[in-house]
Every structure is written in C-alpha cells, then in structure tokens.
C-alpha cells in the first residue's frame, strides 16, 4: 500500500496547474445517457473516481474512450445494453447515483444500487427520491436497489428541496431536461459544479434558466444532441494548493485559478494574513510575514466556506497565532484528521461538530494515518510546514481527488515522494 513521505521546512515557489473539477466531471459524465449523440469532455481530471464512473457507464453499454493522456473523455450512449447500476461498482463511489435521473427520464426505468449499502435516511438519497417522485417517478427499494419507473415519462413539477443538496439538484436537473412541461427546483444548490452541468446541458439543447441561484427553471425538450464541454477548474484542488505556500512559506501561482470559485475561502485567507492576487494565468498566493493569524471557520453550502476544505484549513490553523474555532455544519464525523494532527503536535479539542484549535509554534513530523480523501491531503499539507519527516499512510484515498499531488508539489520545491511497499 502506498504512502507519502514529506520532509518539511522548505518554502514553495513555482507554478501548479489546476485540473478540472472531479465533482463537476462526475456529474457531467452521466449526462451522456441523455442523448444518442457523443458527449466530449475536455480538461477532465485524471483520478480513480473518474475511472470508476467510466466503469459504471461502460457497464450500462456506454462507449467510452480516453484521449490526450486522460484529459479528454469521449462518451456515446447510442446503444445501451443495461439500465442496472450494479452494487459492486456503485459501492465504490457515492456519485454513481447520478445515473438515476438520466436513465429514468430517457428510458423510463432504472435500477440503481444504494451507494455503499447505506440506509436512505442516513444519507440524503431521500432528497433525490422525493424530487424524482415529484416528477412522477414510482420508486421502490428492494434488496438494496432503487427500482424506478416512469411508464408515461416524467412530467414537470414545482418542487422545493428539503436541503440544498448538490447531488439531488444534479439528478433532478438531468431528469427534468427531458420531462414534459416545466420544472422549477427551489432551494437548489448553487455550487459552480451545478452551473457547469447546466451550461453543458444547454449546449446539448436543454432549456435551463437560473443556475447559480437557488431557483432553477427547466423547460423540458423532446431530445438532446451531442456537445463538447470543458470541465470547470477544481475549486477544492485549487483551495488545497493555495494553502500549501500559506503553510510552508513561499509563493505559488495556480494556473486556471479563479477567486469567484472560492470567495468565502479567500476572505478567510486574507484575514489569516495570506495574500491572494489575480494574474494573467490564474492566482498567486503568498504568505505575508511569519505565522498566520487565527480565524474562525463555519462550513456552509456554496457560496459559504466549503466543507471539503475544512481539514486542509485546520492544518494551516494548527500553527496560527491564537485560537481558531472550526464548526462543521455539512457532514458528521468530519474531524477524523484532528487526532492525526495532534500526533504531529497540534493542540486541538473536538466537541461534536466543533473543533477548537490553539496554534502552536510548529508541528513535528510523525507517522500518521489518512482516514479519507481530504484528511489525506491535510496531513500532507501539515507535513510541508512541520519539522522533520511526516509519513502519511493509507493514501489510496488521495488518488480519488488529487492527480499526481507529489509531482505538483515537488515541482515547487517540496521534499515529497510516494513510496510503494
């Protein structure tokens, strides 16, 4: 099993290219199911989750090909052979459930495993189900699978999502583009990934208005055609690499970076004494002087502070001047990285959904264990600024969301390497 070894204490200087957004690409790929004509995605990230989605689509009969070293994905759904999303693939990745809406609206039936075998109430699949039922779907849970039918096709509806779920908004948006009549999604998610999906669907012939706001209106059409679409830059990868020079020192330019994708996050960096400036090619990030200042963070749905950057931000604040309070409002059990940072000398107390971080002068390298994707990279970031050597074990999580992280950081001077056992 691979592990990442980081030797801290080296300031970073250089350029890091930002890949296409994993979460955007995972929603764009199932959109191929809405048309017989090819869908081509450019600026695609080269990640294990993308390979998993490709495997799932191919199991349905989609023809998929990877070009330009994986940065271009070509998909064609002209001759599907199955409408069943099997548990053995779906269990690997929650975003697999995004085939439900497209299959149901185009073919009027779909059988999709619950992701990871979780109960509906424990994770927000119930929001997906209620939204599709509002469009006229009949959905039954049997043996861990959602059996969905729409014998007469889906019909437009005016609905309000219980929670502004990104996945439920995406599933409903794709289902509504081929439904009869008008659909209004209220309390819709506003994330850039939603905007990117809507823009792609519009290129395919969909009639959509209001993406990026909390109310999206869709006028159903009879059919969609093919399109070519660039995947929006990955704001979570961007935020992660913005924190690298903030922790290690130095100055890094992020190619393709955009402040509008992370406004709340950039405001927190400014408060912590981190400079973020726009360049002709993206963004430049520089730590001002010495230790950063403590700031409080509350994770919220977009445009608030992203939950997917909370772990990385904690790594920064572990050595800040003063006391920071991080409140997690999106996901439960998202402080599993805190005990690993404590192993490196951090002073962190967790009570329920709140973590109090008292900054120390410097962390010290230690063997640590990655518990999930964002925890993995937060420990690598912490290692960049720590004294001595940090060994991050179980980094298979890392490859789900970051392409070639050791190469990108190493190109800026980081002492980092991947070691295979």
Strand partners for 72:
67
Q: Alpha-carbon distance 175 to 153, whole Å? A: 10
* Residue bearing tokens 């792609």: 200
Q: Cα–Cα distance between 374 and 365 in angstroms, integer? A: 19
Answer yes or no: is 22 a known binding residue. yes
Q: For the chain, what is the radius of gyration of the CA atoms?
A: 22
What is the distance between the alpha carbons of residues 35 and 391, in angstroms, rounded to a whole number? 47
Which ranges of 117-162 does DSSP label H, i.e. alpha helix?
125-134
Q: Please, what is the end-to-end C-alpha distance for the chain in angstroms?
A: 6
Is 171 one of the annotated binding-site residues? no
Cβ neighbours, 10 Å, residue 142: 8
What the block records as the tokens of 43 is: 């600026």
Q: What secondary structure does DSSP assign to 243-281, as a single string?
A: HHHHHH-EEEEEET--GGGSHHHHHHHHHTTEEEEE-SS
CA distance 346 to 363: 6
Question: Binding residue per annotation — 308?
Answer: yes
Contact by Cβ (8 Å): 211, 195:
yes
In terms of DSSP H, where are the helices of 108-186? Answer: 125-134, 166-176
The answer to whether the bond into 72 is cis (omega within 30° of 0) is: no
Question: Which of the following is catalytic: 118, 200, 266, 412?
Answer: 118
Which run of H or of E encompasses 105?
A: helix 100-107
Task: Give the tokens for residue 65.
Answer: 């090909």
Q: How far apart are CA 192 and CA 170, in angstroms?
A: 12
Q: Where are the alpha helices (DSSP H) in 158-231?
A: 166-176, 192-203
330 is in an annotated binding site: yes
> Is residue 13 classed as helix, strand or coil in its secondary structure?
strand
118 is catalytic: yes
Binding residue numbers: 22-23, 94, 308, 330
Binding residue numbers for phosphoenolpyruvate: 22-23
Report, as residue numbers or ranges, the catalytic residues.
118
Binding residue numbers for UDP-N-acetyl-alpha-D-glucosamine: 94, 308, 330
């Amino acid at each position: 099993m691979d592990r990442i070894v980081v030797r801290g204490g080296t300031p970073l200087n250089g350029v890091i290219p930002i890949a296409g957004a994993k979460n955007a690409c995972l929603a764009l790929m199932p959109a191929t199911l809405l048309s017989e004509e090819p869908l081509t995605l450019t600026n695609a990230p080269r990640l294990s989750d993308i390979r998993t989605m490709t495997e799932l689509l191919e199991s349905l009969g989609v023809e998929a090909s990877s070009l330009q070293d994986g940065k271009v994905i070509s998909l064609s759904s002209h001759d599907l052979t199955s409408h069943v999303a099997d548990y053995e693939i779906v269990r690997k990745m929650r975003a697999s459930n995004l085939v439900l809406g497209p299959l149901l609206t185009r073919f009027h039936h779909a059988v999709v495993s619950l992701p990871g075998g979780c109960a509906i109430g424990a994770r927000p699949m119930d929001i997906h189900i209620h939204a599709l039922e509002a469009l006229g779907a009949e959905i039954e849970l049997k043996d861990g699978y959602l059996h969905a039918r729409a014998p007469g096709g889906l019909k437009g509806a005016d609905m309000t999502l219980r929670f502004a779920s990104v996945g439920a908004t995406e599933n409903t948006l794709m289902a509504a583009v081929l439904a009869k009549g008008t659909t209004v999604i209220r309390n819709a998610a506003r994330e850039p990934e939603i905007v990117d999906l809507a823009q792609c669907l519009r290129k395919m012939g969909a009639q959509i208005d209001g993406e990026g706001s909390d109310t999206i209106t869709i006028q159903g059409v009879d059919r969609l055609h093919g399109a070519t679409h660039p995947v929006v830059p990955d704001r979570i990868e961007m935020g992660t690499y913005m924190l690298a020079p903030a922790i290690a020192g130095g100055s890094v330019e992020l190619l393709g970076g955009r402040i509008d994708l992370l406004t709340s996050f950039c405001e927190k960096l400014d408060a912590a004494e981190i400079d973020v400036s726009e360049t002709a090619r993206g963004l430049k990030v520089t730590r001002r002087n010495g230790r950063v200042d403590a700031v409080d963070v509350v994770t919220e749905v977009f445009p608030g502070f992203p939950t997917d950057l909370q772990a990385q931000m904690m790594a920064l604040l572990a050595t800040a001047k003063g006391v920071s309070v991080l409140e997690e409002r999106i996901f439960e059990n998202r402080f599993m990285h805190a005990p690993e940072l404590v192993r490196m000398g951090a002073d962190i107390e967790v009570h329920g959904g709140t973590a109090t971080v008292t900054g120390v002068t410097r962390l010290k390298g230690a063997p640590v264990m990655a518990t999930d994707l964002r925890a993995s990279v937060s420990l690598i970031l912490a290692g960049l600024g720590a004294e001595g050597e940090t060994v991050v074990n179980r980094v298979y999580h890392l490859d789900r969301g970051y392409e070639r992280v050791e190469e990108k950081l190493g190109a800026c001077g980081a002492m980092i390497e991947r070691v295979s056992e």
